[in-house]
Amino acid sequence: MRRIRLILEYDGGAYAGWQRQTNAVSVQQKLEEALRRLTGEETLTVTGASRTDAGVHALGQNAHFDTSSRIPADKFSFALNTLLPEDIRVRQSSEVGERFHARFSASGKEYRYLFYSAPHSSALYRNLCAHVIYPLDTALMRAEAQSMLGRHDFAPFAASGSVVKDTVREIDFVSLYENPPFIEMRVHGNGFLYNMVRILAGTLSGVGSGKLAPGAIKRALKSGSRLELGVTAPPQGLTLMRVDYPEDALI
């Protein structure tokens, strides 16, 4: 058996998210179907780094699977791309050591959130960004975002349905880039709670539009209350850009 790592890009618009579900089509299911067809291994399963939600995109999702197939590791990408729908692409495939685990070996992740700030929504980019109809004060948003930096108990940023126990995470980078009418947020950390980036995005747009008083993130981290924060921003603005692994996790 060999362990193969995949780097994946997908348009989340047509999927109920990464994770296999009973009544809806997931990215994981499409990938497993393609891999089972390719290898003939009917019980082959794929493990993803991040369980991206319905409608969320990825440019750098990671996943692994084990196989007895003799297909050269770097050829899985080409073979899979002939079997996958065009809204899922394997960007790269490589052999990794048997200790590598797409989810548990990850040391960091980077997400992008794209706002489209204009009176009218975008026809061309509508599936890549979240439309914000009111003007945004990006200086206020940038200042607010800095409160995310460091090691915090991010429990107020966890969606209510979340079952994870340890809600402490460390954020080491957050920034806003303006390219009107787009405003791009990038955030990097050692891990993220379910919906955390979308709640951050909703909080920043709340502060930027004047609906939320600046300091919301500080207040929430202090009080532990989700109510201090903004709405959960819509999924189509969110893209998983990259998953980091320590070099020794790959061998």
Rounded to a whole number of angstroms, the minimum distance from the CB of residue 78 to its own copies is 8
Q: Work out whether 31 is an interface residue with its own copies (CB under 8 A).
A: no
Residue 50 in tokens: 């991040």
Q: Reduce the secondary structure of 145-201 to three states and give it as a string.
A: HHHHCEEEECHHHCCCCCCCCCCEEEEEEEEEEEECCEEEEEEEECCCCCCHHHHHH
The CA distance from 128 to 238, in Å, is 8
Q: Does 122 sit near its own copies (CB under 8 A)?
A: yes
- CA-nearest of 128, 218, 227 to 179 is 128
Scanning 29-37, 56-64, 145-153, 201-209 for contacts with its own copies by CB under 8 A, the matching segment is 56-64
Q: Which of 75, 126, 151, 222 forms a contact with its own copies (CB under 8 A)?
A: 126
Q: Which DSSP string corresponds to 10-71?
A: E-GGGSS-SS--SSS--HHHHHHHHHHHHH--TT---EES--PPTT-EEEEEEEEEEE---S
* Residue 244 known to be catalytic: no
Nearer to its own copies, 11 or 32 (CB): 11
* Residues touching its own copies, count (CB under 8 A): 25
Looking at beta carbons only, is 118 or 149 nearer to its own copies?
A: 118
Instruction: Identify which of residues 26 and 203 has a Cβ nearer to its own copies in the complex.
Output: 26
Site for its own copies (CB under 8 A): which residue of 66, 87, 95, 178? 87
Beta carbon of residue 77, minimum distance to its own copies (angstroms, whole number): 6
Instruction: Name the catalytic one among 53, 66, 74, 137.
Output: 53
Residue 29 is a binding residue for its own copies (CB under 8 A): no
Q: Would you name the residues annotated as active-site residues?
A: 53
Question: Given the rule CB under 8 A, which residues bind its own copies?
Answer: 9-11, 57-59, 77-78, 81, 86-91, 118-124, 126, 128, 239
